[in-house]
Structure 1
């Protein structure tokens, strides 16, 4: 069957989610969830690699990309339930999930609360508790007052190693521009969700296969964060790759190899 590419949106009472699908719907589903301040285009190297063997689903997290920006503070529960609604919309009973940073927190929440809907969960460059609540509240206040430009101007140093920034300036500029052009209110709402999100006491409930991917140069969610998560989750696997925070873009071949090995596929 030929590779199919399709984009659409779902609308609930609360949010309109933009998504794209790639590949054969009869294959196993693999859904990707973006990081804070990015959109589904961040997964292009993963889409290209996995669409031959999986039914790939990418979506823009609420207030990101072409998804809508509901008013009010967000919660991790809402971010997770958005994924469940998308799977229901696509009539997918069970999928594998891969999320990075904020998307990785969403993946942890899904593994805790909806294990029956997922074969495996991959969480990259994330932690059970990312950063400190006050820092997220301060960032939310900053972007509401000054917009996203100040955050976008410094994002590259958090996202990538200096070598990658120097060698891939166009990629870095495109991602920074996407961040600057996003919804300041939606970004602030997600910061407030991250301020409250803390799954440290619940990780032990996870009993489905989990792969944790950590960037060896990640200043935001460190290898130590990944090691701690591995200790809490029964039978979790940990893979370290030579990258900073947005590891799927900085080291796509290593990132994809980790996923292929974990999912047991040969592409």
Structure 2
């Protein structure tokens, strides 16, 4: 039996982020598992002072019935995936880290703390525009309004405190000391138009990981959602 493919979504989304990718994956990929991360969708809130380890703990408990998995994570999900792959080499057969960092630069750490405060003060409406500007190209925002609206509705239906606590976890996240212990083959994927910290992190992963493949894909931070077919193709090719 094939190891299932577990997909971990980014901040402000839930399992539905993956719907376009799941539809584009070939049938021979096997079972696909799409859990919600803490503070998102149907998952409980992260604890006060949560770290990325807490998010990884929850996913590990969610998938405890599986002896081996292939693991894909975008952004927040990519950080969680790194932790799981490092701590459970017996569990993670292959790892895909997409549009993610190992540690945020200082300016982004401050941005995450400020964003947590903003959401607590003004609500999630205040972060819709920054999220969409990072995630999507201008053409996609103009021409795929229904797809963008679906993401916006997921964000606005989220728990503001869960979002804020997740931002605070991102502000202190740092897997730089962990990734060297990842033994699974790794695919690092990134949108060609993603923000500089994510493009730079992709190059860092390429230079740091012992068994790594790099894929540059069309689009920005949410290349998986905006361009699901190229994303699905590169993941399926890596798994095969």
| TM range, smaller chain | over 0.9
Q: Where does structure 2 lack aligned partners over 5 or more consecutive residues?
A: none
Supply the RMSD in Å over aligned alpha carbons.
Answer: 1.5
Q: Is the contact made by 1:210 and 1:235 (CA closer than 8 Å) also made in structure 2?
A: yes
Shift of 1:70: 4.3
* Corresponding residue number in structure 1 for 2:199: 223
Q: Is the contact made by 2:78 and 2:98 (CA closer than 8 Å) also made in structure 1?
A: yes
Q: Deviations over 1:190-248 (max 9, x none)?
A: 01111111112332222211100011001164322101111110021110001100111
Of the three residues 21, 34, 38, the one matched with 1:46 is: 21
DSSP-derived class of the 1:212 partner: strand
Rounded to whole Å, the distance in 1 between the matches of 2:193 and 2:59 is: 29
- Is 1:80 the equivalent of 2:56? yes
Shift of 1:71: 4.2
- TM-score normalised by structure 2 residue count: 0.94
* Corresponding residue number in structure 1 for 2:8: 33
Please show how residues 1-267 of structure 1 align to structure 2 within 5 Å.
26-50=1-25, 52-53=27-28, 54-88=30-64, 91-131=65-105, 132-219=108-195, 221-264=197-240
DSSP-derived class of the 1:59 partner: coil
Shift of 1:66: 1.7
Q: Deviations over 1:46-81 (max 9, x none)?
A: 222447331110011111112222441211111111
Q: Is the contact made by 2:46 and 2:55 (CA closer than 8 Å) also made in structure 1?
A: no
Structure having greater relative contact order (Cα 8 Å, sep ≥ 6): 2
Pick the structure with more strand per residue: 1
Q: Deviations over 1:70-109 (max 9, x none)?
A: 4412111111111211111xx2111000110100011111
Rounded to whole Å, the distance in 2 between the matches of 1:59 and 1:202 is: 23
Q: Is the contact made by 1:73 and 1:190 (CA closer than 8 Å) also made in structure 2?
A: no
Q: Where does structure 1 lack aligned partners over 5 or more consecutive residues?
A: 1-25
Number of residues of Structure 1 aligned to a counterpart in Structure 2? 237
- TM-score normalised by structure 1 residue count: 0.85
Pick the structure with more helix per residue: 2
